[in-house]
Chain A
Amino acid sequence: MSDPTAAAAPGSSEARLRAARVRAANLRTAFVLVAIAVTFFAAVIASKSMGGYAVGLTIVGFAAFAFIAFAIGRNLVGADRVE
């Protein structure tokens, strides 16, 4: 977290602004993670409905790496920027 609320007096507008910023960051993170979960759920069924054996495995395997690399990378970059 970049903005320690310790620096702002409780109840002050600065503290409220910082709290709102944290809430927005929380929601953004959650949406990314929900997207991963939903995509995996839908993709595994879709790939089995439409694709063959190898296609399905390739999609799931690629998606696993792509999503994890994206999610970890994004958050690590974000964390480095604010610390």
Chain B
Amino acid sequence: MSTVPHDQVAGHDDHHDHHHPSGILRWLTTTNHKDIGTLYLWFSFTMFIVGGVMALTIRAELFRPGLQVIDPEFFNSMTTLHGLIMVFGAIMPAAVGFANWMIPLLIGAPDMAFARMNNWSFWLLPPAGILLMTSLFLPGGAPGTGWTLYPPLSTQMPMGMDFVIFAVHIMGASSIMGSINIITTILNLRAPGMTLMRMPMFCWTWLITAYLLVAVMPVLAGAVTMILTDRHFGTSFFNAAGGGDPVLFQHIFWFFGHPEVYIIILPAFGIISQIIPTFSRKPLFGYASMVYATAGIAIVSFIVWAHHMFTTGMPAVGLLFFMYATMLVAVPTGVKVFNWLATMWKGSMTFEAPMLFAIGFLFLFTLGGFTGLILSISPVDFQVHDTYYVVAHFHYVMVAGSLFAFFGGVYYWIPKWTGTMYDERLAQIHFWASLVTFNVAFFPQHFLGLAGMPRRIPDYAQQFADWNAVSSVGAFGFGISQLVFLWAVLKCIRGRGEHAPAKPWEGADTLEWTVPSPAPYHTFETPPVIK
């Protein structure tokens, strides 16, 4: 993609810089997409640490059989909050942070379409996070329902459940507003000449993700609203005693929950699709097929939800339909993996940290995808449902999938964000430590699940002791590895490193690399023309 150069490159926007306030007021009132992107990313990292500490509490308890660190009720609260915080507080806001920072820069727009709403979308999140955490200190503690909030547990939990429901509502509203902003920005504010089929893949994956969010977040909001009315207003949506059906909640929840998996992974696909061509020094192989595969994944994601519920009992036709529909997801996903590999094929590859994380993603996400394929086979799912096999599967998808892609994305774009090159040695240490410890933590969980260890239990039979100890050691190692990431990022923010040129990566060809590093506060006020 070539652009007509203009005075943007010379940083002509400097005269705007004195308009924005400084200090805390800057961050509270900002409508600048870069500031808001930064806020999202820091919020996400904070929640990642909070959710991570909860994970380590869980793993500390599971290090040995028996109850030694926390009581079972608190253990259940930890599993619930860990899931909710990681999904809604860490991964999703991280993806929105990348979107805020990069989409306007990638499409040549001056800012997001609704700048004030963008500020509001972000500032809804901290109160939601506080509500989630506050539930821990209420009488009865935080709910122990698991992140899926299944009734009848959720209709019987103490008032911490109401806080969680309110938090989910707020985070849902924030996500919907963010999605509306992203869709509108991409559809209406692209630079002249940037047709939809010339957009960087990250924008495509986010466009499709945003549609998914708009479609499914209200469904989750409806489901938790019905739980709320069952709890306090005498309705019986999910109360069997009043004629309701608890399984109905599961259908509604997973109608949201399965597309949610793709909401989490598609932006990661987008980041990987930016990184691999850059470090292979080749254009992305099969761009159009990547777009259609992404859309295909999104569409199929609406018709596979009941594979999470094979064991609730459903007709054989239902089992077969959801089994085959789930297997169908492997086709567009396979197209994407093939295209990434084909992009690397005979490329002049170099292995800086972003590329390492991309390759790590490719290897581990594919592994998680394969275990997903195994789980889609309903007779197999009957055997391993609610075991650690499932826990291992979704952590390979969410941690080694999304999180690795986000780490890669941070290392890829941080020179543009801060104007300083990251410390390659630290980043490599971070990658290898994360790769090894992640696998030590989660690979043994496949064995535990296949051996029959149920998930969400604080105690277990002696036969599971060894692999649990290994898994806990790996989890603590993974947690410590993230301190290296924090160190590397803080070094960049404090300017401790080489000054980053406008285009630090030889193979990069998207618009963000045409502006100086760090990116000026205002960019593309005069849209570039794409040739």
Binds A, one of B189-197, B433-441, B498-506: B189-197
The main secondary structure of chain A at its interface with chain B is helix
Which of B113, B180, B188 has the most A CB atoms < 10 Å from its CB?
A: B188
Q: A40: which B residues are within 8 A, CB to CB?
A: 215-216, 218-219, 222
Can you report 21 residue pairs joining A to B where beta carbons are below 8 Å apart?
A: A1-B191, A4-B192, A5-B526, A22-B189, A29-B180, A29-B184, A29-B187, A29-B188, A33-B179, A33-B180, A34-B180, A36-B218, A37-B176, A40-B216, A41-B218, A45-B225, A57-B251, A60-B252, A61-B303, A71-B211, A79-B195
Bound together, the chains give a CA A49 to CA B251 distance in angstroms of 15
List the 9 closest pairs (A to B, CB-CB), nearest first.
Answer: A44-B222, A4-B192, A41-B218, A40-B218, A29-B184, A26-B113, A33-B180, A37-B218, A45-B222
Among B184, B219, B225, B303, point to the contact of A30 (Cβ < 8 A): B184
With A26-B114, A29-B184, A37-B218 in contact, do A1 and B189 touch (Cβ < 8 Å)? yes
CB atoms of A65 and B222 under 8 A apart = no
Bound together, the chains give a CA A26 to CA B183 distance in angstroms of 9
With A44-B219, A65-B302 in contact, do A1 and B214 touch (Cβ < 8 Å)? no
Instruction: Count how many chain A residues have C-beta atoms less than 8 Å from C-beta atoms of the other chain.
Output: 40
Q: How many A-B residue pairs have CB under 8 A?
A: 104
With A4-B191, A26-B114, A29-B184 in contact, do A61 and B302 touch (Cβ < 8 Å)? yes
Interface assignment of B13: CB less than 8 Å from any CB of chain A: no
Bound together, the chains give a CA A48 to CA B223 distance in angstroms of 10
Interface assignment of A25: CB less than 8 Å from any CB of chain B: yes
Task: Give, as a whole number of angstroms, the nearest-CB distance from B381 to chain A.
Answer: 20
Q: A43: which B residues are within 8 A, CB to CB?
A: 222
Task: Give, as a whole number of angstroms, the nearest-CB distance from A48 to chain B.
Answer: 5
Bound together, the chains give a CA A43 to CA B225 distance in angstroms of 12
Bound together, the chains give a CA A42 to CA B219 distance in angstroms of 9
Among B188, B215, B219, point to the contact of A22 (Cβ < 8 A): B188
Task: Give, as a whole number of angstroms, the nearest-CB distance from A2 to chain B.
Answer: 8
Among B6, B189, B211, B222, point to the contact of A41 (Cβ < 8 A): B222
Bound together, the chains give a CA A5 to CA B191 distance in angstroms of 9
Contact flags A1-29 to B (C-beta < 8 A → 1, else 0)? 10011100010000000000010011001
With A1-B189, A6-B192, A79-B187 in contact, do A60 and B180 touch (Cβ < 8 Å)? no
Q: A34-B180, A45-B225 known; 8 other A-B pairs, CB under 8 Å? A: A1-B192, A4-B527, A26-B113, A33-B179, A40-B222, A45-B226, A49-B237, A79-B195
Bound together, the chains give a CA A57 to CA B527 distance in angstroms of 45
CB atoms of A76 and B196 under 8 A apart = yes
Among A48, A79, A83, point to the contact of B237 (Cβ < 8 A): A48
Task: Give, as a whole number of angstroms, the nearest-CB distance from B15 to chain A.
Answer: 13
Interface assignment of B489: CB less than 8 Å from any CB of chain A: no
